[in-house]
C-alpha cells in the first residue's frame, strides 16, 4: 500500500474507539441488511470471551480530532447501532464512545442519535439504518433470551475482547484512490500489506535522531529484501513447486510464506490469522529484527529446495499430493540433508501406498486415483533421473491443466461415440492411419485388406449409420492392432497420463492414430508428460523389436518394467502370505 512507512497500524479494542467519524460522499451509504447484522452479532457472541478481531478500519486524521472513515463504515455504523441500543434500552449506563456523520446526508448524525421509525422512509440510508437497528433489537430477545443478561455479556465482549485492525494512513494519502482500491476494485486489505505495515511503520517520535535513523535504514533494507522475495515468488515454476494454490489467490506472493510461518491452512482463506501471528511476535524493535531474520531464513530455505534437483522433485511431488510444506520445513530443521531426503522418500512411499504386486494388479475403472498418482510420480522421477540434464519436471505446466486423465495407449473399440459427426471423424483419422501404415511386416493379407477398407470408408462415410460404423470400426481396429491386447487392455501397461483437453482429442483411437495426434500436440506446444511422450515414441522398446504402428505385448512388457524400475524406490515390500 502506498505510504505504508507513514501509516500507523495496531489492534484496537472496540471499546477504545472514540471520536467523530466522517463518511465522505465518494462512498455509498449504509447498506447492511439483517443477514450481515446478525452475522456480526453471532460472531461476537459465539466467540464469547476469546480475543476476536473484525476486519480493518481504515481512517485518516482530519486535523481537528475527527477522522475521515475510508474503509469499514458498514462495520463501524453497525457497532454504533449496537452500542446505541444497549444505552437507549437502558440495559447499560454509559456514554456513546463515538459518533458518525455521512456527508451525503447532512442530518445523518441526528438520525443515528434518534433512530425514529417515522423518519426511516425519508431516504435509503435511514431505511437501512432503521432496519439494522430493528434487527439488533430482535436479536437480543430471540429464543426467549434474558436481554439484560445478554446485554451484560455483549457489552463485556465488545469492550474487552473484540478488536478492529486500526489502520491510520498518513495525512497526505489519496483517500479516494485508497477507497477505490479497497472497494470499487474489490482488492481487500491483505495480510501481507498489514504485516508490511508492521515492519515499515514510521519510527516512534520519541526516538532520538541516531536511533530513528538506524531504524529507517533497517526498514530500507527490509523493503529491498521484501521486493527480492516477492520477485522470486512471481516465477511461475517456483510458485507451482511451493503450492497448489492459484496465483490469483495471492496478489502479494510473499503472503504465502507468511501463511506458512503462521500455520494458516489454504482452506482458511478468509480472516487475519497471519497478521495476528506476526503482530503478537512484534513487540519491540529487537523483535522486529529477529522476526524478519526468521522470514529471510524461511524464504532462503524454500529457494534452496527449489534449486536442488533432488529436493525439488521429491518435495514438488509431495506438495502436489497435499503435503503440508510448513511441516516439511519443521522436519528439515531436525535432519541432515541425507536424513531429510530419506524422510521425503518415506513420505512418498506412504502416499503411494503400493507394493510391486499392487502395481501389477492395478486396473482402469477400479483404481484410477492410485494409477494417476503412480504415473505422476513416475513422470516426476523420470525427469529427476535424467543424467547430465538440468531439466526439471514442469509443475507449473502440469497444474495449469484443468484436469488430468488416464489415456488408454491403445483402444480396441470405438465405444462412447454416438453421433454421426463423431463416427465420420473417427473414420477419417483411422483411414489416414491405414493409408500410411506399412503392414507388410505383419501380414501381406493385412496390406491387401487395408486397400479394401480404405475404399469402403470413402464409399460409406457420408451416409454412415450406427450399425455400419460399428462393423467397419471392428475391422479397422483389428487390422491396426497387434492381436494380443485383450489381457492387458485396462492394466497399467496400457495407460498413460494425459490432460483432459488432449484426452478428448484422442478418445477411442488405436495406437497409431493416437501416436500421430500426440506428436502433433507436442509440436504445437501442448504439454505432454515425459513418459506419455516416450510411450508414443516407442522409447521403452528396443529398436530391433519395434513395430512403430502397434502397441504390442512386448511394448507393454517393456513399459511395465520401466514403470516398476522408476517406482521401485517408493514401493512397499510385497507381502509374504506365507508368514
Mean pLDDT over residues 289-299, rounded? 94
Q: Minimal CA–CA distance to 412: which of 481, 355, 359, 469?
A: 481
What pLDDT is attached to residue 546?
57
What pLDDT is attached to residue 202?
52
> Tens digit of pLDDT for each residue in 438-463?
554 444 455 667 677 777 777 888 88
Name the pairing type of β-strands 52-61 and 98-102: unpaired
What pLDDT is attached to residue 578?
46
**Using 50, 70 and 90 to split pLDDT, how confident is the model at 79?**
very high
Give the Cβ contact number of residue 512 at 10 Å: 23
> Tens digit of pLDDT for each residue in 164-179?
888 888 888 888 888 8
**Using 50, 70 and 90 to split pLDDT, how confident is the model at 180?**
confident
User: What would the DSSP string read from start to end of 274-343?
Assistant: HHHHHHHH-SSHHHHHHHHHHHHHHHHHHHHHHH-HHHHHHHHHHHHTT--HHHHHHHHTTS-HHHHHHH
> Tens digit of pLDDT for each residue in 364-398?
999 999 999 999 999 999 999 998 889 999 999 99
Given a contact cutoff of 8 angstroms between Cβ atoms, the answer to whether 228 and 385 are in contact is no
Query: How far is Cα of residue 102 from the mean position of the Cα atoms in its chain?
Result: 39
| CA distance linking residue 329 with residue 349, whole number of Å | 19
| CA distance linking residue 314 with residue 398, whole number of Å | 15
Mean pLDDT over residues 283-297, rounded? 84
What pLDDT is attached to residue 485?
56
Residue with cell 511503520: 201
Residue with cell 505510504: 3
List the 19-23 sheet strands across, edge first: 8-13, 162-169, 52-61, 67-71, 19-23, 98-102
CB hemisphere CA count around 378 (13 angstroms): 30
pTM of the predicted protein model: 0.72
Inform me whether the pLDDT recorded for 433 exceeds 80. no
| CA distance linking residue 432 with residue 485, whole number of Å | 22
**Is residue 451 classed exposed, middle or buried when 0-12, 13-18 and 19+ CB atoms within 10 A define those classes?**
exposed
What pLDDT is attached to residue 440?
42
Phi, psi dihedrals of residue 280, rounded to the nearest 5°:
-70, -30
Mean pLDDT over residues 293-307, rounded? 97
Amino acid at each position: 500500500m502506498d505510504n505504508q512507512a507513514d501509516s500507523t497500524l495496531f489492534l484496537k479494542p472496540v471499546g477504545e474507539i472514540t471520536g467523530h467519524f466522517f463518511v465522505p460522499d465518494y462512498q455509498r451509504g449504509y447498506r447492511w441488511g439483517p443477514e450481515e447484522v446478525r452475522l456480526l452479532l453471532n460472531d461476537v457472541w459465539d466467540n464469547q470471551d476469546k480475543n476476536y478481531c473484525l476486519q480493518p478500519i481504515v481512517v485518516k486524521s482530519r486535523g481537528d480530532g475527527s477522522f475521515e472513515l475510508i474503509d469499514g463504515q458498514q462495520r463501524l455504523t453497525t457497532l454504533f447501532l449496537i452500542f446505541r441500543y444497549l444505552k437507549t434500552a437502558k440495559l447499560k449506563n454509559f456514554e456513546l464512545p463515538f459518533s458518525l456523520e455521512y456527508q451525503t446526508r447532512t442530518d445523518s448524525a441526528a438520525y443515528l442519535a434518534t433512530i425514529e421509525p417515522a423518519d426511516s422512509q425519508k431516504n435509503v440510508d435511514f431505511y437501512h439504518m432503521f432496519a439494522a437497528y430493528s434487527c439488533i433489537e430482535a436479536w437480543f430477545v430471540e429464543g426467549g433470551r434474558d436481554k439484560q443478561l445478554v446485554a451484560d455479556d455483549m457489552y463485556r465482549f465488545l469492550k474487552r475482547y473484540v478488536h478492529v485492525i486500526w489502520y491510520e494512513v498518513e495525512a497526505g494519502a489519496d483517500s479516494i484512490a485508497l477507497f477505490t482500491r479497497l472497494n470499487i476494485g474489490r482488492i481487500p486489505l491483505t495480510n501481507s500489506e498489514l504485516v508490511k505495515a508492521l515492519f515499515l511503520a514510521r519510527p516512534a517520535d520519541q526516538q532520538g535522531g541516531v536511533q530513528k535513523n538506524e531504524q529507517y535504514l533497517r526498514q530500507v533494507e527490509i523493503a529491498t529484501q521484501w521486493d527480492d522475495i516477492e520477485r522470486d515468488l512471481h516465477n511461475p515454476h517456483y510458485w507451482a513447486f511451493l503450492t497448489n494454490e492459484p496465483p490469483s489467490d495471492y496478489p502479494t506472493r510473499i503472503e504465502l510464506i507468511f501463511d506458512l510461518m503462521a500455520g494458516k491452512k489454504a482452506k482458511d482463506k478468509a480472516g487475519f490469522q497471519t497478521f495476528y501471528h506476526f503482530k503478537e511476535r512484534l513487540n519491540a524493535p529487537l523483535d522486529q529484527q529477529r522476526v524478519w531474520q526468521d522470514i529471510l531464513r524461511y524464504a532462503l530455505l524454500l529457494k534452496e529446495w527449489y534449486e536442488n534437483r533432488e529436493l525439488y522433485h521429491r518435495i514438488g511431488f509431495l506438495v502436489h499430493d497435499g503435503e503440508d510444506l510448513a511441516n516439511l520445513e519443521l522436519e528439515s530443521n531436525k535432519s541432515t540433508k541425507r536424513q531429510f531426503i530419506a524422510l521425503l522418500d518415506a513420505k512418498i512411499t506412504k502416499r503411494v501406498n503400493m507394493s510391486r504386486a499392487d502395481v501389477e494388479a492395478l486396473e482402469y475403472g477400479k483404481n484410477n486415483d492410485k494409477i494417476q498418482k503412480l504415473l505422476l510420480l513416475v513422470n516426476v522421477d523420470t525427469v529427476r533421473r535424467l543424467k547430465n540434464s538440468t531439466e526439471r519436471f514442469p509443475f507449473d505446466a502440469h497444474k495449469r491443466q484443468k484436469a488430468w486423465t488416464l489415456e488408454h495407449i491403445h483402444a480396441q473399440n470405438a465405444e462412447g461415440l454416438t453421433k454421426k459427426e463423431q463416427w465420420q471423424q473417427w473414420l477419417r483419422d483411422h483411414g489416414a492411419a491405414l493409408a500410411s501404415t506399412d503392414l507388410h511386416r505383419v501380414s501381406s493379407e493385412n496390406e491387401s485388406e487395408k486397400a479394401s477398407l480404405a475404399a469402403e470408408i470413402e464409399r460409406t462415410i457420408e451416409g454412415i449409420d450406427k450399425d455400419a460404423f460399428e462393423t467397419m470400426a471392428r475391422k479397422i481396429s483389428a487390422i491396426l492392432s497387434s492381436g494380443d491386447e485383450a489381457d492387458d487392455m485396462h492394466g497399467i501397461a496400457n495407460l498413460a497420463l494425459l490432460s483432459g483437453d488432449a484426452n478428448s482429442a484422442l478418445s477411442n483411437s488405436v495406437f497409431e492414430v493416437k501416436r500421430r495426434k500426440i506428436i502433433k500436440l507436442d509440436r504445437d506446444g501442448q504439454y505432454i508428460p515425459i513418459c506419455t511422450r516416450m510411450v508414443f515414441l516407442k522409447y521403452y522398446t528396443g529398436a530391433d523389436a519395434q513395430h512403430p504402428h502397434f502397441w504390442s505385448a512386448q511394448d507393454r512388457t517393456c513399459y511395465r518394467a520401466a514403470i516398476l524400475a522408476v517406482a521401485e524406490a517408493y514401493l512397499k515390500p510385497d507381502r509374504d502370505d506365507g508368514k
